[in-house]
Structure 1
Amino acid sequence: MPEVILPGASGRIEGRYSPGKRANAPIALILHPHPKAGGHMNNPVTVTLYQLFQKRGFATLRYNSRGVGKSQGEFDSGIGELADAATALDWLQSNNPAATQTWVAGYQFGAYIGMQLLMRRPETDGFISVSPPSNMYDFSFLAPCPASGLFLHGTADTIVPPVEVERVVNKLRTQKGIVIDYELEEGASHFWQDHIDAVDRRVGLYLDKRLEAEPA
C-alpha cells in the first residue's frame, strides 16, 4: 500500500495505491467523506471500500482531496474536489492503460463527487455510493446515469433520511440499460458505527455478483 503523490490543480495530492494483480487488472477509485466534517482517506468506511476492491485484484487508489492531510490547496465547495477526482482517475488510468474495467466508489460527500465524476467519464463500468447526501446536494445531474451500481444506506441515518435516497434511486430505475441496486442496513447510522462489517459484507457480495456476470 505505497504512498503516492499526484500533481493536482492546487498542488500535490496525497494518496495510497495498491497495484493490480495483473497487467490488465480493473481499476477502482475511492473517495472520502466531507473534508469540513473531518473526512479523509483513512476514514473506516473509505478504507473498507479500498480493501474490498484491493482483495479482488483491482488496482486501487484512495486519496486526500485538497486541503486534507498532505494534499495542498483549500476546500472548494465540490468544484475543485471534482477536479481532484478527475486528476486521480487520470493517474489511475495512465498507470493501468490495459485495465478491463473502471469503478468509482465513495462515501457520503465522496459519493456525491463520485457520481458527478461518473457522469463525466462514460468509460466507468460501475459505482458504489454509501450514504449519498441526496438531501444536501442536488443529484438531478444523474440524467441519465451512465452505469449500473449500488446505493447502500442505513435505516437509522438521521442526517440523510432513507426516503431522500429512495427518491434518487426510484428516478434512476426508470432508465433503460442500467440496473440500480439499493440496499438498506437495519440500524446503521450515517457514520456506520458498529456496522462497518455490513459495508464489507454487502458491498463485497455486490462486487462478486457483478464480477461473476461481467468478469474483469
Structure 2
Amino acid sequence: MKKRSETLLISGPVGNLEIRIKPCVHDVDSSKAVVISHPHPLYGGTMNNKVVTTMERAFSSLGYTTVAYNFRGVGGSEGEYDNGIGEQADLKAVLDWLRAKYEISHTVLAGFSFGSYVSLSALAKCKIDAICTVAPPVGLYDFSVINDVDVSWSLIQGGQDEVVSAQEILDWAMKQKSKPDIYWREDASHFFHGELVWLRKVIELSY
C-alpha cells in the first residue's frame, strides 16, 4: 500500500518545525532523500508554494523520500525570521532528523528562491550529494561567499524572472569554480507560471 505524505512537528533550534514527509512509494526500498526549502517567509513563502510542491512530486516520482518544511515563524514552525542565518540551522535540523529516522545514502538539497540561498549557504554544514537551486536570488543576498559548490549542482532559471535578474544569476553561476548544469526556460517567470510541467520534467531528467 502506498504511503501518503504526513505533516509532523519536529524539534528545531528555536522550537518546533513543521515538516511534510512522503516516504518512497516505489516497490523497492530507496535510500535517496531530498529536503526542499521554500521561498521568502516575509513575502508569503511556505512549504505549500506551487514550485515547492512541484519539486516534491518530481523527486517522489524518482523514488526519493521527500521532505518539505516551513522555516521558523512560518505555519506551524516556531520562532521568527532570521535573515537566512537561523534558517540554515532549521534546514540542518530537518536533515539531521531525516537521517536519524531513515537509512539515507544519497541526499539532495533543493530550494526555490530564498530557499535556494539557504540551501547553498548551508552546504558547509550539511554533507550531501547534490543540490538543486531554482531561481536563486542573486543580487538580493550576499552570494559572493558561495564559491565552492563541490557537489553535483543543477540551476533552473526562467528568462523572464521579474523578482531577480536572470542575467545576473547566469553571470554569477558562470564565475563559479564548479559550474552548475543550467536549465534555462526563456519564457518562464520567477514563479514559473504556466511552466510547472516543464520544471517537473527537468528535475525528473536530471536526478
Same-fold call, TM > 0.5?
A: yes
Mapped partners of 2:201, 2:29: distance in 1: 27
Counterpart contact for 2:58–2:201, Cα < 8 Å: no
1:119–1:142 CA contact under 8 A, matched in 2: no
Q: Cα deviations across residues 150-185 of structure 1 (Å, max 9, x unaligned)?
A: 11111111321211111221122x44xxx6201211
Residue 119 (str. 1) matches residue 124 (str. 2): yes
For 1:193, the equivalent position in structure 2 comes to 193
Q: TM-score, normalising length from structure 2? A: 0.92
Equivalent residue for 1:92, pick from 98, 106, 116: 98
| 8 A Cα contact 2:138 2:165, kept in partner | no
Name the amino acid aligned to 1:53: F
Deviation at 1:24, TM superposition (A): 5.0
Deviations 1:2-54 (A, max 9, x none): 11111012211111101235555111100000000100001000011111111
Among all aligned residue pairs of Structure 1 and Structure 2, give the percentage whose two residues are the same amino acid.
34
Match of 1:214 in 2: none
Q: Structure 2, unaligned stretches of length 5 or more?
A: none
CA contact (8 A) 1:24 1:96 kept: no
Matched ranges for 1:138-157 at <5 A = 138-157=142-161
Superposed displacement of residue 119, structure 1: 2.7
Q: Distance in 1 between matches of 2:97 and 2:150?
A: 22
2:112 equivalent among 107, 112, 119: 107
Q: Distance in 1 between matches of 2:148 and 2:134?
A: 20
Q: CA RMSD for the aligned pairs? A: 1.4
1:213: which partner in 2?
Answer: none
Correspondence for 2:31 among 25, 31, 38: 25
Distance (Å, rounded) in 1 between the aligned partners of 2:35 and 2:99: 10
CA distance in 2, matches of 1:58, 1:167: 31
Matches within 5 A, 1:72-87: 72-87=78-93
**Alignment TM-score, normalising by the size of structure 1:** 0.88
